[in-house]
């Protein structure tokens, strides 16, 4: 697992915690309690003059909890809320603010709504012994404006006068991913960061503002990072704006099908459409083009002469490649020599054009002959254990006998060696880009039916079209595809087909809609 977290990774973990049953209120309670504990252990005070300066988000909520816990020892505590109480953004933070309002004998609360009111709290801030910065968190957007910028100036002035400044999670005003100040930022003596350091705290610039960084354990279960969940989908879905136009959500090209296999490319293309791409085109042999068209009027089919992939397909792809975002290649292609050679040529063209690439099924056999052909391109491979052996020469440990955990280091090493993201399909899918890994546990034995892997290829193509991040896309796709299969089995038992999985993709998104 990562040693530091980006903003998107933080968001995904928060959502996955909730999905696992760890309520955000619990995490907020633990976060605030940890801040209070560190202050009580590390900073001796004469008069107990502690000022918590809070904003409207969950970081403010952490500050409210810290204030409550600090009353176990000190009674000179003031909480300054910058904004209107009714505008507190989350129910968890609002609940903890309401608790403070009922603690009038031990905590003084002040609200300021604009710059003109800062004089009301100036003396309180400057005469504090400790200031807890609970103002702006990882959700910061753009330059810090008044009254927040003026408050931060006061916090930094108090630090120069000897006041100890403790920031919660990150110093207010720094970018969590870069560490750069967003115009102005708090200069902390201590930053108590939750679960793991944020990437920005590890940068040279961020470290100047963070002071001593202490990582607090707030009860995030390891499973929230290890297993794919709705959080991984939430950071990968492209939001639909009212002004969206055709093509804004991507154009994919499926290269698949042969005289023996007509259904596979159609399943891939429909999987991508159901996930949310705008245009799903199939390049297929003329002998099966009409059969593919008959699957759905939503499919665009471009045909070339022949029964199998050949040089005619390469010429057709060259004409279409500039109009697409992603290619998904492999479903139903077969694997004679001309097919394999044509696959490699198409992969070369796609890579040179900087297209997203998803490789599955028979195309994996061609890729195994030259894994360097897409190096540098944004590439996802979707093998099962047998195809993994074809690509790498390695027989994976038995999942049933040896467990899925033993497969992780092998998949990671091979992903790093070949320079691509691997989505290993199994009961527990393992996804790795060589640096990170995740495990997906949605899906069921009913999905052993033919075609569900083709659907996954289409779902994966949709996500990488939106994110251009192979690892993130593969994780989200594995989760959604498996969840759609789970919903299908709940309705029909182990009597489903690949088209049932496609039909349930919208329902899978509805299940996690509250997290998006």
Q: Could you tell me the two tokens for 438?
A: 């995740």
pLDDT number for residue 1:
60
pLDDT number for residue 58:
96
pLDDT number for residue 141:
83
Q: How many Å apart are CA 130 and CA 166, to the nearest integer?
A: 7
Q: How many Å apart are CA 1 and CA 438, to the nearest integer?
A: 9
> Which architecture, in CATH terms, is 7-221?
3-Layer(aba) Sandwich (3.40)
Please give the chain's pLDDT, 516 residues, in tens. Answer: 668 899 999 999 999 999 999 999 999 999 999 999 999 999 999 889 999 999 999 999 999 999 999 999 998 899 999 999 999 999 999 999 999 999 999 999 999 999 999 999 999 999 999 999 999 998 888 999 999 999 999 999 999 999 999 999 999 999 999 999 999 999 999 999 999 999 999 999 999 999 999 999 999 999 999 999 999 999 999 988 888 888 899 999 999 999 999 999 999 999 999 999 999 999 999 999 999 999 999 999 999 999 999 999 999 999 999 999 999 999 999 989 999 999 999 999 999 999 999 999 999 999 999 999 999 999 999 999 999 999 999 999 999 999 999 999 999 999 999 999 999 999 999 999 999 999 999 999 999 999 999 999 999 999 999 999 999 999 999 999 999 999 999 999 999 999 999 999 999 999 988 877
pLDDT number for residue 515:
79
Domain 230-238+245-515 falls under CATH 3.30.2320.80: no
Q: What are phi and psi of 129, to 5 degrees?
A: -95, -35
pLDDT number for residue 140:
86
Q: Could you tell me the two tokens for 504?
A: 């349930």
Alpha carbon distances (Å) from 59 to 31, 201, 280: 9, 16, 43
Global pTM?
0.94
Q: What are phi and psi of 107, to 5 degrees?
A: -135, 130
Q: How many Å apart are CA 404 and CA 406, to the nearest integer?
A: 6
Residues whose CB falls within 8 Å of the CB of residue 448, separated by 6 or more in sequence, listed in order: none
Residue boundaries of the structural domains of the chain: 7-221, 230-238+245-515
Report helix, strand or coil for 59: helix
């Amino acid at each position: 697992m990562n040693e530091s977290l980006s903003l998107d990774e933080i968001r995904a973990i928060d959502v996955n915690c909730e999905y696992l049953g760890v309520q955000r209120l619990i995490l907020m309670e633990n976060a605030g309690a940890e801040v209070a504990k560190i202050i009580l252990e590390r900073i001796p005070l004469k008069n107990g003059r502690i000022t918590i300066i809070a904003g409207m988000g969950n970081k403010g909520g952490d500050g409210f909890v810290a204030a409550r816990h600090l009353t176990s020892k000190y009674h000179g505590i003031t909480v300054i809320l910058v904004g209107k109480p009714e505008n507190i953004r989350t129910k968890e933070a609002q609940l903890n603010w309401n608790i403070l309002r009922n603690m009038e004998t031990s905590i003084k609360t002040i609200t300021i709504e604009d710059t003109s009111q800062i004089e009301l709290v100036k003396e309180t801030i400057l005469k504090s012994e400790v200031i807890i910065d609970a103002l702006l968190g990882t959700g910061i957007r753009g330059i810090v404006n008044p009254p927040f910028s003026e408050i931060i100036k006061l916090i930094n002035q108090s630090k120069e006068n000897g006041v100890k400044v403790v920031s919660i999670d990150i110093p207010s005003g720094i970018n969590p991913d870069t560490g750069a100040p967003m115009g102005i930022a708090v200069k902390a003596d201590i930053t108590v960061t939750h679960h793991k350091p944020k990437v920005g705290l590890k940068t040279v610039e961020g470290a100047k503002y963070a002071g001593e960084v202490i990582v607090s354990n707030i009860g995030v279960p390891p499973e929230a990072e290890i297993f794919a969940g709705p959080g991984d989908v939430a950071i990968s879905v492209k939001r639909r704006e009212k002004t969206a136009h055709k093509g804004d959500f991507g154009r994919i090209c499926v290269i698949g099908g042969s005289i023996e296999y007509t259904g596979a490319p159609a399943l891939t293309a429909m999987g991508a459409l159901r996930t949310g791409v705008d245009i799903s085109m199939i390049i297929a042999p003329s002998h099966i083009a009409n059969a593919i068209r008959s699957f759905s009027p939503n499919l665009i089919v471009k045909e070339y002469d022949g029964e199998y992939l050949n040089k005619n397909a390469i010429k057709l792809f060259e004409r279409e490649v500039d109009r697409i975002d992603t290619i998904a290649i492999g479903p139903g292609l077969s694997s004679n020599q001309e097919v394999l050679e044509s696959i490699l040529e198409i992969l070369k063209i796609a890579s040179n054009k900087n297209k997203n690439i998803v490789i599955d099924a028979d195309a994996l056999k061609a890729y195994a002959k030259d894994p360097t052909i897409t190096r540098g391109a944004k590439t996802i491979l979707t093998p099962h254990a047998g195809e993994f052996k074809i690509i790498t020469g390695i027989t994976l440990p038995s999942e049933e006998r040896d467990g899925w955990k033993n497969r992780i280091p092998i998949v990671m090493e091979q992903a790093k060696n070949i320079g691509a993201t691997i989505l290993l399909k199994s009961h527990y899918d393992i996804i790795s880009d060589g640096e990170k890994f995740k495990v997906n546990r949605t899906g069921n034995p009913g999905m052993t039916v033919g075609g569900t892997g083709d659907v996954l290829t289409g779902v994966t193509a949709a996500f990488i079209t939106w994110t251009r991040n192979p690892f993130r896309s593969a994780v989200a796709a594995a989760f959604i595809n498996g969840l759609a299969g789970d919903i299908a089995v709940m309705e029909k038992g182990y009597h489903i087909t690949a088209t049932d999985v496609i039909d349930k993709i919208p329902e899978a998104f509805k299940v996690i809609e509250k997290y998006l």
